[in-house]
Amino acid sequence: MSIRVIVCVLFVLGFSMYAYRNWFVSLCASVFLMAFLKHPDMPRNLIGVPGVNLWNILLANVVIAWWSQQRHEGVSWDLSRPLKIAFCLYFIVISISCLRAFADPTDYYPGTRMDLFQDYFVNSIRFIVPAILFYDGCRTRERVTLALGAVVLLYFLLAVQVIRYMGLQPDFSGSELSGRAARIVQRSVGYNRVDMSMMLAGASWAAVAKL
C-alpha cells in the first residue's frame, strides 16, 4: 500500500469520525476527496466487495450523521416541491434507462451487467447526494462560504492534475488534442476526458459564486 493510499485512508477515517460532531465539514471533505476519486492509486473496492470504497464509506457516514443530527440542529426537511419533482423525474429516467440497458446491454457496452449497474445507476444516484445535503445544510453564511470553498478547491485540484499530465504545450489541432486527452487524462487522472471537460466548465461558475 502506497503512502498516498495510507494518507487517503487516514483522511477518510478521520472525517468519518468527525462527521458525528459536524457532518457539514465532513461533507465538504468528501467533495475535496472527489478530486482523487478516480485516480489510479485510489482503491476501487475494499475487502473485495464492489462499491465499498473510501469515498462511499465517508459519504455513508456523512449521511448517517446528517440524519441523526437533524433533531439536534432543530431544522426540518424543507426541500421545495419543484426540486422534489425534479429529483423524482431524474430517478425515474435513470431507473428506466438502466433497466433497458441491463436487459440488453448490446455489444456497445464492454463490461458486465454488474459494472453497468454500478456505473450508470449507483453512480448516477450517489453523486446527487452531496448536492441534496448541501442544499439542506447551507443555512448560514459561514456554511455557504465553506461549501463554495470546497467546490472551488475541487476544481482547482482537478485542473492542476490535468495540467500536470497534459502539460502546457500549445496545441491548436483539435483531433490531436482529443487523442492526447483520451490517452492521458483517463489513464492518469481517472476521469473520462468528456466528463472532465464538463466538470471544469463549472469551475468558472463556482469561482463567480465564490466571489
- The pLDDT of residue 61: 94
What's the mean pLDDT in 179-203?
Answer: 73
β-strand partners of 46:
49
pLDDT in tens, 143-167: 999 998 898 888 888 888 887 777 7
Distance set, CA 126 to CA 26, 121, 185 (Å): 16, 9, 23
d(CA 103, CA 6): 40
- The pLDDT of residue 64: 93
Domain ranges of the chain: 1-75, 77-138, 140-211
- The pLDDT of residue 84: 87
- The closest alpha carbon to 186, from 168, 162, 206, belongs to 162
Write down the pTM of the prediction.
0.80
pLDDT over 90 percentage in the chain:
23
d(CA 192, CA 211): 29
- The pLDDT of residue 198: 77
CA dihedral over 69, 75, 76, 77, signed as positive or negative: negative
- The closest alpha carbon to 40, from 181, 184, 173, belongs to 184
Local confidence band at 172 (pLDDT 50, 70, 90 cut-offs): low
- The pLDDT of residue 175: 64
pLDDT for 178 beyond 70: no
The label of the residue with cell 465532513 reads: 26
pLDDT in tens, 29-76: 999 888 887 777 777 666 666 667 888 899 999 999 998 887 777 777
β-strand partners of 49:
46
Range in 102-111, 168-177, 191-200 the model is least confident about: 168-177
Local confidence band at 177 (pLDDT 50, 70, 90 cut-offs): low
For residues 61 and 11, the answer to whether their CB atoms sit within 8 Å is: no
For residues 177 and 197, the answer to whether their CB atoms sit within 8 Å is: no
SS3 content of the chain, % helix, strand, coil (to 5): 75, 0, 25
Range in 78-87, 115-124, 164-173, 194-203 the model is least confident about: 164-173
Strand, helix or coil for residue 66:
helix
- The pLDDT of residue 36: 83
